[in-house]
Amino acid sequence: MSTTTVETSATVTKDSPAPAPGRVRRRGESSPLAALTSHGILIVASLVALFPVAWLVFLSLGPDKDDYLHPGRIWSKMTFDNYAFVLQHTNFFDWLTSSLIVSLGTTLLGVLVAATTGYAVSRMRFPGYRKFMWVLLVTQMFPVAVLMVPMYQIMADLQLIDTYLGLILVYCSTAVPYCAWLLKGYFDTIPFEIDEAGRVDGLSPFGTFFRLILPLAKPGLAVAAFYSFITAFGEVAFATTFMLDDQKYTLAVGLQSFVSEHDAQRNLMAATAVLIAIPVSAFFYLVQKNLVTGLTAGGTKG
């Protein structure tokens, strides 16, 4: 009896159809629900980031300065007159020229100083090299209000008040410490054997740095350049203090000319703000290929 029962069960099991195997999820592959959730979060975050920009562009198309109070009325009277007024009846191009001179000057000088500093700390072991990097970091802890008076005194003694060079040096004092830290971490990821190969080929330390290391550090240099450019292009406090001639105002300072004691031409401010964003967007487009690589490479080696 027992044997027959076992054989029957075995026969039934053997003849019955095998259950369909379920789909095995690969390692690292998310479930449909998780993918849908992550995409939904990214879409919402993108809308939140784009809304202020779209709202600014929308307000810039309103012809009246009080249209921001009744934005629904802008739809029926959209116009580009605000842009025409800013370009034709203000010192916009003088402000743009000043901003580009200061921003590009800060970028070139700041990246050069930061790159040489980061490379020296990464490759050379001189007394106090670790403390030196911490000192650079500590300089970023002081607020602008504390630095304003001593910087103004130094610039006045050097007769650099109301000059582009003075403002460039002030901005470099802000951009160089961070960029030096950034580039030091990136130089750490470049094998030291490349430096040794350059010396074997007869290159000096400067030749090795400029001919071998810098070409390999383009992503890190792109991030440092972008940070330096943004720091100088959008800064207001130092530019307002050190630039006295209205012909030398930067765009960020010139934007304040639309605000008076009793009134604010918000439609013109919005149009000017949109125009200000164009050079920054163009610069971002030029360096975007190297930004992600430069931001992440420095964290792979301590």
Provide the CB-side half-sphere exposure for 264 (13 A, CA).
Answer: 9
| β-pair partners for 264 | 259
Q: How far apart are CA 188 and CA 194, in angstroms?
A: 12
| β-pair partners for 259 | 264
Contacts of residue 170, defined as CB under 8 A and 6 or more positions apart, other chains included, come to 151, 155, 238, 242
Q: Is 170:238 a contact under the CB 8 Å cutoff?
A: yes
pLDDT tens string 212-260: 888 888 888 988 998 999 989 988 889 988 988 888 889 888 888 887 7
Q: How far apart are CA 133 and CA 114, in angstroms?
A: 11
Question: Residue 293: how many CB atoms within 10 A of its CB?
Answer: 14
Query: Residue type at 32?
Result: P
| Full-model pTM | 0.78
pLDDT tens string 136-192: 778 778 888 888 889 999 999 999 999 999 999 999 988 998 899 889 888 888 888
pLDDT tens string 265-296: 888 888 998 998 888 888 888 777 766 665 55
| Residue among 243, 269, 215, 250 at smallest CA distance from 86 | 269
pLDDT tens string 21-53: 555 566 656 677 888 888 899 999 999 989 988
> At residue 7, does pLDDT exceed 70?
no
Instruction: Tell me the C-alpha to C-alpha distance, in Å, between residue 168 and each of 59, 68, 151, 192, 234.
Output: 33, 36, 12, 33, 13
